[in-house]
Amino acid sequence: MNRCSVCVLGLATVQLLGCASYARRDLARYPFPEAQAELREVLHQIINDCETANVAGLRNSHLNSDKFTKFGGRSYDRENFEQCTASETANVTSGQDYKYDVSDLKIDVFGEVAVMTYYGRVSREVDGEAVRYSWRQTLVFLKTADGWKIIHEHQSRKKYIE
């Protein structure tokens, strides 16, 4: 075996060991900090899209697929992609001074899938009246070629008074 062959064999071994160590990561415990940071940015963009009524941005944050589902605070029925985006469009465009706050954010990443939970609050004005509500939110994301996309939402909503 010549020196070149030994070099190539050595590099191939190092690459295989690197791949094997990634595959052995404990999906239930490894935090995937890079993905968590990406998902925080995705949530920041979703909040911005809600506050600015950027309907195209909100639509783009969801996976446009028959596999998408939502149980929302505005409807008891399971929603598909089109129903969800229509409901969210109506919600963010129906008032003004939309403010969206998040607390107790938790992001759990399992490789290409992530679960985000938090408590949300919205305040806005609709027809001259202050409207406020809070909810518990679960978002399930899938890492796609176009970035992280919401594949399932579940929201438990309630009104609150300050």
Handedness of CA 2, 13, 35, 144 (dihedral sign): positive
Rounded to whole angstroms, how far apart are CA atoms 143 and 131? 34
| 73 and 135 Cβ atoms separated by less than 8 Å | yes
Where are the chain's structural domains? Answer: 1-26, 31-159
Mean pLDDT, consecutive 10-residue segments, the chain of 162 residues? 61 56 79 97 97 97 98 89 95 91 98 97 92 94 98 86 52
**DSSP label at 67?**
T
Of 160, 150, 161, 146, nearest in space to 72 by CA: 150
In CATH, what is the architecture of 31-159?
Roll (3.10)
Rounded to whole angstroms, how far apart are CA atoms 64 and 42? 16
